[in-house]
Chain A
Amino acid sequence: MKLNGLSIENTFAEAFNMKASRIIVTADNLKWAKNACLSFTGFATSVIACGVEAGIEKELKKNQTPDGRPGYAILLFSMSRTQLEKQLETRAGQCILTCPTTALFSGLEGEDMIPLGKNLKYFGDGYQISKRINKRRFWRIPVMDGEFMCEEKTARVPAIGGGNFLLLSKNRESCLAACEIAVKVMSKIENVITPFPGGVVRSGSKVGSKYKALIASTNDAFCPSLKGITNSKLDKSVNSVMEIVINGLTKEDIDKAIKESIIAISKSPYKKDILSVSAGNYGGKLGQYHFHLRKILK
């Protein structure tokens, strides 16, 4: 299949059931809200070692936040409730509570609630004040710049992690530039994040390793440097492969992100160097969701 001249392989991305939560971080200005968010979403690329996958979902204007200040929405994804709770609390305590002028609110409604400021309140050492407005409880914790306000709980919802596609390119420069275009398009789509640095992964992995201690290792089939000595899936002319991993709240959100970003690449000047678009899967046996590239782009 060709999309505006861009070759789309007949394959699919394999994704998994996850649990997600959304939080809203506000501050006196976007600069400080971003400082907190970058800190919060740091070291949150993959559940393999980070416990949680997180990223900034969108920028919020003053009229979109509970306290009338600018901010950002963050999405967090995890395989287990315990990890999600633990990571949320730890990161909120170390990265948002500590950041000047910030406040923290829930960005999702639902019945399955997990703690957000429930335990952070104890930092107030008895001077914390509880407020309940419209059935939601908030905590005001006195801090040195005034007070840190945070919502007691946020919702946890079912979500999908690991949607992806691979760009197979003649050179690294075009590959990265095309990835940047895709990530920029996805940053404007709600309910999805690209958790890796700048939204792009260069170290795609396969399940298992020759070393028993490792559960994942380099995806040798897509490493251009191993062409010829391994069971490579790459053409002779492919010299660089990069992957974009997409986590989303629903299948439709990920479908939309994949579709719009590949269309954007196909219309960009870099498409001449992109030899094909592929996707990462494990034979379809591990993940509960399959994102067939050609079906999505039809």
Chain B
Amino acid sequence: MIPLTFKFKTKNKYRLDMSWLSKINTSDLNVIKNIEINYGNGLYKIKELFFISGNDFNNIKIFNSTSKLDNIGCELINKKITINGSVGYGLAKNMNSGEIILNGNAGTNACSGMSGGSVFIYGNAGDGLCSLPTGKNLGFVDGLIYVQKNVGANSIIRMRRGNIVIGGNIGKSSCLELISGTVTILGKIGDEFCRNARRGTIFIKDKSITKDYIIANNTDLTFYNFYKININKLIKEKLIKTLMPKRYFGTKNDRELVELFLL
């Protein structure tokens, strides 16, 4: 089986809403080629904008992607999308299941409202990663997100469960109103981090964050080793190496049960 491949024909002048990609439910290449989409002020058939080939309709590859391709993987269910190049806003918005691999940078509001599946961003992610989607109450419900480099401000809002791993820095006002789930941030962390959080587990390297938290006893926790093994396996990189991190549990100012591991 050859992955269904889309290659942009020309240099794209206008933004292009790619949400149709997740909704493909045909196994006829001609049907896909003739789907009509808006581009600029006109209505175009997909074959007029992309070179299309392949026969594996659950394994999609996009080449020559640019930051003007928006909403790739929006509401995705059980498909794999591999993207070479950057993408615009709304990557994996409201995604349910499947896998997205992005070899480039993601624009704003990536993974907003995601409720399952895995997203691997081998680059940076813009502001509002896992931000609240319109009309919804949770920014990230479940799944796995790995961002190899940096993430912008106002990210990870009202996370419910699942795992997020960020290899670089994260901007200000992130992890707000954290409900649960596990976040790992290996770079520097912006101001106003984790405000009004209720529960959740956060692995950090930025020591400045720990000042507001209560240091816990140095006990052996099965979970840490378990998490280290499994998350390294899932993201296919040995990012977490610390043998015995320092643990903080609960904030000094209120009774919230946020757990912090200093790697």
Contacts and interface: CB of A to CB of B under 8 A. Distances in A.
Interface stretch (A64-72, A112-120, A213-221): A64-72
A68 B161 CA distance: 23
A130 B179 CA distance: 11
Interface string A120-161: 000000010111111100101000011111000000000000
Nearest to B229: A68
Given A131-B182, A132-B161, A133-B231, A147 B221 contact: yes
A99 interface: no
Interface string B208-222: 000000000001111
A149 B222 CA distance: 7
A134 B234 contact: yes
A67 B222 contact: yes
B227 A133 contact: yes
A131 B222 contact: no
B201 A146 contact: no
A69 B225 contact: yes
B259 interface: yes
B154 interface: no
Given A134-B234, A146-B221, A149-B222, A67 B161 contact: no
B99 interface: no
B230 A133 contact: yes
B162 A132 contact: yes
A104 to B, nearest CB: 10
A133 B225 CA distance: 13
A interface residue count range (under 10 / 10 to 19 / 20 to 34 / 35 or more): 20 to 34
Interface in B144-163: 144, 161-163
Size category, B interface: 20 to 34
B71 interface: no
A148 B182 CA distance: 18
A148 B226 CA distance: 12
Nearest to A144: B219
Main secondary structure of the interface of B (DSSP, over half): mixed
B222 to A, nearest CB: 4
A217 B24 CA distance: 65
Contact of B230 (A66, A145, A147): A66
Interface string B65-82: 000000000000000000
A76 interface: no
A52 interface: no
A128 to B, nearest CB: 11
B142 interface: yes
B226 A103 contact: yes
B180 interface: yes
Contacts of A67: 222, 225-226, 229
Scoring B142, B222, B227, B229 by chain A CB atoms within 10 A of each residue's CB, the highest score goes to B222
Nearest to B116: A135
Contact of A149 (B223, B231, B257): B223
A103 B227 CA distance: 13
Given A134-B144, A134-B234, A146-B222, A129 B229 contact: no
Q: Which of B221, B231, B259 has the most CB of A within 10 A?
A: B221
B227 A131 contact: yes
A40 B219 CA distance: 26
Interface in B210-253: 219-223, 225-227, 229-231, 234
The 7 A-B pairs at the shortest CB distance, nearest first, are namely A67-B226, A149-B222, A146-B219, A146-B220, A103-B222, A132-B161, A68-B229
Given A131-B227, A146-B221, 20 more contacts: A66-B226, A66-B230, A67-B225, A69-B225, A103-B222, A103-B226, A127-B257, A129-B223, A132-B163, A133-B163, A133-B230, A133-B231, A133-B234, A138-B226, A140-B221, A145-B220, A146-B219, A146-B222, A147-B222, A149-B226
12 contacts: A67-B222, A131-B201, A133-B163, A133-B182, A133-B234, A138-B223, A138-B226, A140-B223, A146-B222, A147-B219, A148-B222, A149-B222
